[in-house]
Amino acid sequence: MQELRERILADGEVIGHDILKVDSFLNHQIDPAFIQRMGREIAARFVAAGVTKVLTVEASGIAVAAAVGLALGVSVVFAKKRRAVTQQGDLYAAKVFSFTRREAVHITVSPKYLRPEDVVLIVDDFLAHGEALNGLVSIVRQAGAALAGAGIVIEKRFQRGGEALRAAGVRIEALAAIEKMENGEIIFA
């Protein structure tokens, strides 16, 4: 998505050699009209898959996932990073390590919201090491649902998180794929 690439170049900030800060439009402040355009683009790529649910993890993926759900006309479910008091009974769960937060969390989803008859599209803001995506794929499998694939806003391919999932047959569509970041410069795939 050319508009996203341009926005990354204009507003993104490379921190070190592996962190891309896009707080101005995706991770701290959101641009609703831009989020909606990204959501429509992801939805268009999966419209033929028969998606019945969009799944993401809190918090940064929720805005884009909501835009995708709106475009597809389906509900959005988000995995919680900490079990809430309101979550009773059995839950689908996966352990996920966050490299930006430097902590492991257990993400959970209620079986009430993911059913075996669902066709699930995972949506997230970033794909780097693949921890969150692997956890969400595990939750879809625990539910016995079908996986349509994953729509990712920004994939940092040099961190190789998508390789094993693609090799395992998971369809991954990224709106912007970054091959490397060197000396503050972003090189797109």
pLDDT by position in tens, the chain (length 189): 999 999 999 999 999 888 899 999 998 999 999 999 999 999 999 999 999 999 999 888 999 999 999 999 999 999 998 666 666 678 999 999 877 677 888 999 999 999 999 999 999 999 999 999 999 999 999 999 999 999 999 999 999 999 989 999 999 999 999 999 988 899 999
What does the chain come to in residues?
189
Nearest 5°: CA angle at 53, between 50 and 54? 110
Q: Is the model's pTM score more than 0.85?
A: yes
C-beta separation of 178 from 154 below 8 A? yes
* CATH code of the region 2-188: 3.40.50.2020
